Copies of this chain bind each other. A is one copy, B any other.
Amino acid sequence: MGLTKTEFFTESQNKTAMLLKALGHPARVAIIEHLLKVRTCICGDLVNELPLAQATVSQHLKELKSAGIIKGSVEGAAVCYCLDESAFEVLAAYFSGVISGVKSQKSNCC
């Protein structure tokens, strides 16, 4: 075990969980917030910004990128990273959908 049984959940549930899991680490939240401030940056900038080694930052960037949360384009020797707006639109829509669903419920709890 230790293996998530993704095959028994819907495509949508797996996709949503995958996005949220990718953001479910303070270092990756910090990367997002730094990109909100500076729009674009390279890995080295984040290594200076975060209390983590270069290998660790690179790994977090890889996870964010493979989840579709950031984009990276090669810029000479460096790689330029920026936010992928579409992922956040999906998540914002998801949560506003949840909220309107909750609000449409009669009472709050049992």
Using a CB–CB distance below 8 Å, which chain A residues touch chain B? 4-6, 8-10, 13-14, 16-18, 20-30, 32-33, 36, 39-40, 50-52, 71, 73, 75, 80, 82-83, 85, 88-89, 91-92, 95-96, 98-99, 101-103, 105-110
Contact = CB atoms under 8 A, between A and B. Distances in A.
Contacts of A89: 99
A94 to B, nearest CB: 8
A28 B39 contact: no
A95 B88 contact: yes
Contacts of A14: 26
B88 A102 contact: yes
Given A26-B14, A102-B36, A82 B96 contact: no
Contacts of A16: 23, 26, 29
Nearest to A74: B110
Contacts of A20: 20-21, 23-24, 29
Given A36-B102, A88-B99, A110-B80, A25 B17 contact: yes
